[in-house]
Amino acid sequence: MTHVVAQPCVGCRYTDCVVVCPVECFYEGEKMLYIHPEECIDCEACVPECPVEAIFHEDNLPDEWKEYVQINADGAENSEVITEKKTPLADN
């Protein structure tokens, strides 16, 4: 199981979660962040850091956002890893 970045991140892309991740499993997309499902170790360090509460354990992901499991997997495969805090889209 893994953690998943869901719809609240779209258009915000805060990176507070990235700097606390011990395994660097976050990837930066154009409009949101993604968690690589095979790299996440379920430590939950990122969950309280997200200011828009967009990160969920896969088992607790709301039904309306279930497609974000695959969106994260695909997005992580097609994006660059991010390890440093950046200005969020919401502040641009």
User: Could you state, in chain order, the average pLDDT of each consecutive group of 10 residues for the chain (92 residues)?
Assistant: 94 96 97 97 97 97 98 98 92 64
Give the C-alpha separation, 55 to 47, whole Å: 6
Within-domain flag for 72: yes
Within-domain flag for 51: yes
**Overall domain count for the chain:** 1
Query: Residue 78 sits in a domain of what CATH number?
Result: 3.30.70.20
Within-domain flag for 47: yes
So what's the pLDDT on residue 24?
97
Query: Which domain range does residue 40 map to?
Result: 3-83
Helical segments of the chain, H only: 68-77
Within-domain flag for 92: no
So what's the pLDDT on residue 1?
73
DSSP state for residue 46 in the 8-state scheme: S
Helices and strands counted in the chain (H then E): 1, 5
Within-domain flag for 55: yes
So what's the pLDDT on residue 30?
94
Within-domain flag for 89: no
Within-domain flag for 32: yes
Q: Give 49's Cβ-side CA count (13 Å radius).
A: 15
So what's the pLDDT on residue 92?
57
